[in-house]
């Protein structure tokens, strides 16, 4: 929150007094109105009436302009803050140097959107609450100046209002929270059922799913009905306080005027001011809940930054940096653009892949495979090297131009098929008119059929996470993307688990053909016989130790190896 | 950087992010949206269903507004009493009346608020249940083509927007609306001169409101699309962090979110500029009204001899109106967004028919017969269908196990879905146990045949709730027996709370293999006569895959089973193997027959066994 305020000190310094002024104009209105009725209309002074009316209008115009100015300034500041926090959080979450977090993606999203929005409301709230409070204070002073008793009544009214707000607000917000959480629960159930739609339809249990949702929806409805009752009562209560207060002020002021202590104009003014104040108070009644929600949100934003090991005001996460800088894959280190040359192969304590070689690693235990992947992707320091450069958590970022470790879990981002393949294709190749590079990549991934199936070929939009594709299609596009990157060192982890035997065979041959070049090194971590067979050399690991090395056909003599790769 | 360039053209913001541009393009929505008239008719019908509470709500609300409108008149009378030097007793009486009316107004307001909100919530609950109803029956093909994003936003976001509106906005606006109308009537009855003023002022308000809405509506629509794309961009980047880091595209993804975020901000700011203009614009009729009241008041009091209380009452009336009128117009955009959500919900409810039984035929046994079945998903530019499945006759005996083998795109999954009855073929008849699916009883077919697809999904809630989706009345004994059959009981018992363990998105994370076992356990509980298995091989490697294979065979026992074989070992155990290529069955027979045939299957088998 402090960070939010710091960035907008100057804006607040200008806006706060002006907003107060615009509130003051609102407050002055009933007073001037009373004056005109008394001195102009009652006294039969047409000139004064006309002048007064003109003055009043002028006042209102100035007030409106002031209001618009402060409103726009505040909104700009608010929206800038929202944008800054959101982009900063996104940058922090995606930055590979940030600490890794275990929070669900949905939670991060809600912090970066709704919490960032709410926290920024601080500016909006300040420019409204502060002037309102000053105006109410001024109104109380005015009434007290007109008549001490009136002032006291006013204070009493404000006090009662505060008490009512303090008492009902907590109960009310509890009901409201209850309703919101039940509604969220129902919405989550709905989302969940739609996500599992294929499963439900496959089993033919739609009517049971419907009953499940209906149950949730009814619980949510009950909570909503309770909340409706409570907010009705709360709106009634504030109306009641306002009404009583008004009655008291009218009676008091009327009696005073009869006594001759006040003029008729002041009577009208007093009633007007009292109404104005009560209206303000009703508006301000929502402020404590607002404030509570805001500080919770601000805390959540801060906690996320802390979890990531970053700070809100980290200059590297500033808007100017995040919106202008391009990705750095270590290409800046003197290497020329375009196709990269040999990187000197991939070296691990248990095996080496020389330039021009395709090596397969068959692990009996999934854990061994994971360990190798962690080591080559630099998640841990496992003694892996690209050429002479060690792959460590600290250094891994600079190696990204030489090395690509395609994750096993496929993630595709929204964009055309061409854009998918071009994700990291060497500059200059993917920009031309010629799609030959893409054809080659698709062929190597056994995905030529996609061009036939997809309605607009390379220009077909692939939805986020490949939502409009089957599992096998997704996996093959990811594989083609990796091939198109043409990295000097490529590591693939179980790249064919979602495809059928026939396609797997096609992939094995085409992939090997695409990667078999003198300056390219490829490591396949897999147990698929088709891929093992296509490799130049297979390393067989069991219980963390190498149990065999050679070509697939020879290793098949090994009983344990045969058991592991057997289908 | 401490501020944005708020007037920057959006094209400039989008820059070279063509994906963002594509996402923001106002392409046709995938699911239907109702037009204004349909929505109106629909809401009318729903209100009629609740006609009693609608009527009661209406009466209470009008009464509350009348009470609120009496107050200024009483205040005017108080001014008159003072102006005519009345007695203090008269003042006290008026004070008592103001208090009484205030009390009445408070009670009516409280009651009215609750009733409006409750009525709205009831209607909304019915609607969200209907939306889910239709969504659950959406054909799988629709979902495949469009992704589920649109369906998700209908069942979650739109319901949420509508619910928030019903909570606060709707009762508030309805009460204010009635207050404005009744107050105007009150003013007009004070004096015909004031009626003249009302006639002049009201159209100005209406014009301002209409202009404002017309300008903001498209901006809001675009902002909402931008916000949706922004959320999606962020989510997909977070989900794909391993890929983002491997490919070194973190800056690209951050910039993508930033571009969309800035677009949304700029669009929002455009609305704010319009708000500013609106406020300045509304100042004109307001000031005009003020001047007219004062001048008319002067004439009435000095020339017509009207009591000054009248002027005071008119003044108070007027000032009371400024605020609610502004509030109504200010909130119009939220109303707009709520109405948009309403139209999206009504669109789903009214234009997608609830699944109904096409007939009454029921499957007599577990046999399946296809007669000249063919299918095509789309048509190409020349209008020719892109054939996925060529005409096919097929007979499967009760209890037979058939497996489908072929490359990706050969039509295996399409055939499987047609056999399961989840996909309706373009041509031909599908008969389950003699019952034509085009004339069969819906629920009977649904419980007769099940398909386990590649999509594994673990539902949120406890493990027991997940399993009970397939068999609501199954007790722990039955659930455990089902888990044992698929070899999952051991790990379930190791979970901290066994069957009561929370699973799904918020609960314990299950491995892909465990999720598949759960899917098979659901089949055991559902106990269909026909089972279609279209699962991918387990990710965990061959040991996990073998466990699953065993479980699948165990579940298939005693049922007519069709297996879409990703691995030839799955095909080998089947009674019959159909080899598919380019949408046609090219070979069929047992494993031994096909190997002996020396055709396509034999080649595959040779390559497979290495």
* Candidates A72, A93, A257; nearest CB to B238: A93
Chain B partners within 8 Å of A461 (Cβ): 22
CA trace torsion B65, B67, B72, B78 (10° rounding): 180
CATH 3.40.50.300 in chain B, residue ranges = 368-609
Chain B residue closest to A509 (CA)?
B607
Q: What is the pLDDT of residue A125?
A: 86
Mean pLDDT for the stretch of residues B149-178: 82
Percent of chain B with pLDDT over 90: 25
- Summarised one tens digit per residue, pLDDT across range A45-86 is 888 889 989 998 999 899 899 999 999 998 998 899 899 999
Please answer whether residues B366 and B529 qualify as being in contact, where contact means their C-beta atoms are separated by less than 8 angstroms. Answer: yes
Mean pLDDT for the stretch of residues B247-270: 90
CA atoms within 13 A on the CB side of A7: 23
Phi, psi values for residue A261, rounded to 5°: -75, -30
Mean pLDDT for the stretch of residues B24-38: 71
Question: pLDDT band for position B30 (50/70/90)?
Answer: low
Please answer whether residues A112 and A89 qualify as being in contact, where contact means their C-beta atoms are separated by less than 8 angstroms. Answer: yes
Q: How many CB pairs under 8 A join A and B?
A: 537
List B452's β-bridge partners, or say none: B533
Residue by residue, DSSP assigns A344-369 as --EE-SS-EE-TT-EEEEEESSHHHH
Work out the angle at residue B489's Cα, subtended by the Cα atoms of residues B483 and B490, and round it to the nearest 5 degrees.
Answer: 160
- Summarised one tens digit per residue, pLDDT across range B276-303 is 998 888 888 888 888 888 888 888 888 8
List A403's β-bridge partners, or say none: A489
Strand pairing class (A545-550; B461-462) = unpaired
Sheet holding B584-589, edge to edge: B449-452, B530-533, B560-564, B401-406, B576-581, B584-589
In whole angstroms, what is the distance from residue A433 CA to residue A543 CA?
A: 50
CB atoms inside a 10 Å sphere around CB A47: 8
Interface test with A, best of B73, B258, B380, B389 (most A CBs within 10 A): B258
Mean pLDDT for the stretch of residues B549-571: 85
CA atoms within 13 A on the CB side of A77: 27
Question: pLDDT band for position B540 (50/70/90)?
Answer: very low
Name the token pair of B202. Answer: 């009201």
Q: How far is CA B103 from the centre of its chain?
A: 42
Please answer whether residues A344 and A520 qualify as being in contact, where contact means their C-beta atoms are separated by less than 8 angstroms. Answer: no
Q: What is the pLDDT of residue A513?
A: 92
B385: contact with A, CB 8 A cutoff: no
| pLDDT at residue A330 is higher than 60 | no
In whole angstroms, what is the distance from residue A45 CA to residue B301 CA?
A: 11
In whole angstroms, what is the distance from residue B175 CA to residue B413 CA?
A: 57
Alpha helices in A308-344 (DSSP H): 319-324
Inspect the interface and report whether the beta carbons of A202 and B453 lie closer than 8 Å.
yes
Q: How far A518 CA sits from the closest chain B CA (Å)? A: 23
SS3 B457: coil
pTM over 0.90: no
Q: How far B35 CA sits from the closest chain A CA (Å)? A: 25
Question: pLDDT band for position B510 (50/70/90)?
Answer: confident
Q: Look at A392 and B535; give whichever has higher pLDDT.
A: A392
In whole angstroms, what is the distance from residue A462 CA to residue A412 CA?
A: 8
Helix, strand, coil % over all residues of chain B, rounded to 5: 65, 10, 20
Name the token pair of B310. Answer: 């009248």
* Candidates B231, B258, B454; nearest CB to A109: B231
In whole angstroms, what is the distance from residue B245 CA to residue A98 CA?
A: 12
Inspect the interface and report whether the beta carbons of A57 and B290 lie closer than 8 Å.
yes
Name the token pair of A198. Answer: 């294929």
Domains annotated on chain A, with CATH? 346-565 (3.40.50.300)
B253: contact with A, CB 8 A cutoff: yes
Q: Does domain B32-351 have CATH number 1.20.1560.10?
A: yes
In whole angstroms, what is the distance from residue B573 CA to residue B478 CA?
A: 28
Q: Which residue has the tokens 């104040």?
A: A277
| Terminal-residue alpha carbon distance, chain B | 63
Sheet holding A403-406, edge to edge: A403-406, A489-493, A521-525, A358-363, A537-542, A545-550
In whole angstroms, what is the distance from residue B592 CA to residue A200 CA?
A: 37
Interhelix angle B308-351/B88-136, nearest 10 degrees = 10
Looking at the domain covering B368-609, what would its CATH class be?
alpha beta
Q: How far A211 CA sits from the closest chain B CA (Å)? A: 9
- Summarised one tens digit per residue, pLDDT across range A288-301 is 778 888 888 888 89
Mean pLDDT for the stretch of residues A159-186: 81
- A204-213, A357-366, B182-191, B318-327: which range is least confident on average? B318-327
In whole angstroms, what is the distance from residue A205 CA to residue B110 CA?
A: 44
Q: What is the pLDDT of residue B544?
A: 66
The ipTM value here is 0.87
Chain B partners within 8 Å of A266 (Cβ): none
- Summarised one tens digit per residue, pLDDT across range B404-436 is 988 777 788 889 889 988 888 888 999 999 899
* Candidates B239, B275, B420; nearest CB to A105: B239
Alpha helices in B353-455 (DSSP H): 412-420, 442-448
DSSP conformation class of B157: I
- Summarised one tens digit per residue, pLDDT across range B351-391 is 877 777 788 888 988 899 999 998 886 655 555 666 788 99
In whole angstroms, what is the distance from residue B367 CA to residue B448 CA?
A: 11
In whole angstroms, what is the distance from residue B165 CA to residue B338 CA?
A: 6
In whole angstroms, what is the distance from residue B496 CA to residue B501 CA?
A: 7
CATH 1.20.1560.10 in chain B, residue ranges = 32-351
Q: What is the pLDDT of residue B538?
A: 46
**Mean pLDDT for chain A?**
85
């Amino acid at each position: 929150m402090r960070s939010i305020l710091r960035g907008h000190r100057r804006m607040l310094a200008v806006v706060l007094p002006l907003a107060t002024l615009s509130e003051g104009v609102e407050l002055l209105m009933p007073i001037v109105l009373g004056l005109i009725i008394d001195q102009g209309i009652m006294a039969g002074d047409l000139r004064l009436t006309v002048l007064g009316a003109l003055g009043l209008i002028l006042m209102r115009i100035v007030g409106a302009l002031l209001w618009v100015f402060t409103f726009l300034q505040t909104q700009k500041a608010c929206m800038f803050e929202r944008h800054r926090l959101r982009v900063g959080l996104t940058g922090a979450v995606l930055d590979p140097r940030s600490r890794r977090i275990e929070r669900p993606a949905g939670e991060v999203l809600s912090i970066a959107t709704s919490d960032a929005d709410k926290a920024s409301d601080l500016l909006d709230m300040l420019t409204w609450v502060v002037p309102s409070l000053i105006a109410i204070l001024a109104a109380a002073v005015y009434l007290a100046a007109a008549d001490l008793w009136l002032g006291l009544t006013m204070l009493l009214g404000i006090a009662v209002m505060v008490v009512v707000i303090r008492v009902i607000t907590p109960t009310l917000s509890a009901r409201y929270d209850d309703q919101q959480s039940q509604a969220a629960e129902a919405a989550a159930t709905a989302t969940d059922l739609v996500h599992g739609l294929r499963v439900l339809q496959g089993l033919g249990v739609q009517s049971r799913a419907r009953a499940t949702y209906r149950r949730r929806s009814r619980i949510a409805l009950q909570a909503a009905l309770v909340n409706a009752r409570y907010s009705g009562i709360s709106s009634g209560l504030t109306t009641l306080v306002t009404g009583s207060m008004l009655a008291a002020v009218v009676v008091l002021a009327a009696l005073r005027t009869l006594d001759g202590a006040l003029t008729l104009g002041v009577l009208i003014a007093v009633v007007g001011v009292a109404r104005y104040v009560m209206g303000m108070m009703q508006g301000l009644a929502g402020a404590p809940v607002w404030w509570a929600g805001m500080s919770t949100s601000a805390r959540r934003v801060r906690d996320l930054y802390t979890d990531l090991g970053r700070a809100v005001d980290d200059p590297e996460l500033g808007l100017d940096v995040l919106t202008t800088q391009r990705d750095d894959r270590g290409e800046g280190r003197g290497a020329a653009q375009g196709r990269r040359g040999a990187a000197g192969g991939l070296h691990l304590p248990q095996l080496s892949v020389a330039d021009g070689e395709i090596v397969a690693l068959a692990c009996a235990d999934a854990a061994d495979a994971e360990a190798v992947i962690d080591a080559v992707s630099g998640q841990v320091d496992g003694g892996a090297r690209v050429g002479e450069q060690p792959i460590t958590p600290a250094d891994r970022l600079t190696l990204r131009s030489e090395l690509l470790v395609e994750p096993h879990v496929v993630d595709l981002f929204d964009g055309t098929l061409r854009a998918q393949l071009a994700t990291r294709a060497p500059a200059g190749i993917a920009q031309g008119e010629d799609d030959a590079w893409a054809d080659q990549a698709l062929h190597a991934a056994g995905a030529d059929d996609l061009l036939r199936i997809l309605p607009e070929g390379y220009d077909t939009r692939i939805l986020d996470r490949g939502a409009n594709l089957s599992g096998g299609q997704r996996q093959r596009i990811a594989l083609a993307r990796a091939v198109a990157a043409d990295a000097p060192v490529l590591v693939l982890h179980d790249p064919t688990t979602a495809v059928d035997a026939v396609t797997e065979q096609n992939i094995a041959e085409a992939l090997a053909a695409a990667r078999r070049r003198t300056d390219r090194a490829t490591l396949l971590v897999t147990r698929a016989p088709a891929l093992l067979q296509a490799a130049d050399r297979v390393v067989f690991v069991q219980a963390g130790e190498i149990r065999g090395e050679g070509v697939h056909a020879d290793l098949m003599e090994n009983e344990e190896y045969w058991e592991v790769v057997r289908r | 950087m401490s501020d944005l360039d708020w007037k920057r053209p959006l094209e400039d913001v989008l820059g070279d992010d063509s994906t963002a541009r594509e996402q923001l393009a106002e392409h046709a929505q995938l699911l239907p949206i109702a037009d204004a008239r349909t929505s109106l008719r629909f809401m009318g019908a729903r209100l009629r269903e609740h006609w009693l509470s609608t009527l009661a709500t209406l009466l209470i609300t009008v009464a509350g507004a009348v009470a609120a409108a009496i107050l200024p008149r009483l205040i005017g009378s108080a001014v008159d009493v003072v102006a005519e030097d009345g007695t203090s007793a008269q003042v006290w009486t008026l004070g008592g009346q103001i208090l009484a009316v205030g009390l009445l107004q408070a009670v009516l307001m409280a009651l009215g608020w609750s009733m409006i909100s409750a009525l709205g919530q009831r209607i909304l609950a019915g609607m969200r249940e209907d939306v889910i109803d239709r969504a659950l029956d959406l054909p799988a093909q629709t979902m495949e083509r469009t992704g589920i994003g649109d369906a998700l936003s209908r069942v979650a976001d739109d319901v949420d927007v509508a619910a928030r509106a019903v909570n606060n906005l709707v009762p508030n606006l309805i009460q204010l609306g009635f207050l404005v109308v009744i107050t105007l009537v009150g003013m007009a009855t004070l004096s015909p001169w004031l009626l003249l003023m009302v006639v002049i002022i009201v159209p100005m308000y209406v014009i301002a409101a209409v202009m404002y809405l017309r300008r903001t509506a498209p901006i809001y629509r675009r902002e909402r699309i931008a916000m949706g794309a922004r959320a999606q961009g962020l989510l997909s980047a977070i989900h794909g962090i391993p890929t983002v880091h491997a490919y070194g595209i973190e800056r690209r993804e951050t910039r993508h979110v930033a571009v969309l975020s800035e677009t949304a901000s700029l669009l929002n700011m455009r609305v704010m500029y319009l708000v500013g203009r609106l406020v300045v614009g509304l100042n004109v009729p307001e000031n005009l009204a003020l001047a007219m009241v004062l001048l008319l008041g002067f004439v009435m009091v000095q020339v017509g001899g009207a009591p000054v209380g009248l002027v005071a009452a008119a003044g108070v009336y007027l000032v009371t109106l400024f605020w609610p009128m502004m509030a109504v117009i200010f909130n119009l955009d939220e109303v707009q967004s709520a109405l948009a959500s309403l139209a999206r919900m009504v669109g789903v409810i009214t234009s997608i028919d609830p699944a109904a039984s096409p007939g009454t035929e029921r499957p007599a046994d577990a046999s399946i017969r296809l007669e000249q079945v063919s299918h095509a998903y789309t048509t190409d530019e020349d209008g020719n269908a892109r054939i996925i499945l060529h005409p096919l006759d097929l007979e499967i005996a009760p209890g037979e196990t058939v497996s489908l083998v072929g490359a990706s795109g050969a039509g295996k999954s399409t055939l499987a879905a047609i056999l399961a009855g989840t996909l309706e073929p373009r041509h031909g008849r599908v008969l389950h146990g003699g019952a034509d699916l085009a004339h069969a009883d819906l629920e009977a077919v649904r419980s007769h045949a099940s398909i386990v697809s590649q999509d594994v999904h673990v539902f949120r809630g406890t493990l027991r709730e997940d399993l009970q989706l397939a068999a609501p009345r199954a007790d722990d004994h039955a659930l455990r027996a089902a888990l044992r059959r698929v070899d999952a009981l051991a790990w379930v018992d190791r979970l901290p709370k066994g069957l009561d363990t929370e699973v799904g998105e918020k609960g314990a994370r299950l491995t892909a293999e465990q999720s598949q076992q759960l899917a098979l356990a659901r089949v055991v509980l559902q106990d269909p006569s026909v089972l279609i298995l279209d699962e991918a091989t387990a990710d965990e490697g061959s040991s996990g895959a073998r466990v699953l294979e065993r479980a699948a065979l165990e579940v298939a026992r005693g049922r007519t089973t069709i297996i879409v074989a990703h691995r030839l070992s799955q095909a080998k155990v089947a009674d019959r193997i159909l080899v598919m290529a380019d949408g046609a069955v090219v070979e069929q027979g047992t494993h031994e027959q096909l190997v002996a045939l020396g055709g396509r299957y034999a080649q595959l088998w040779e390559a497979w066994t290495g």
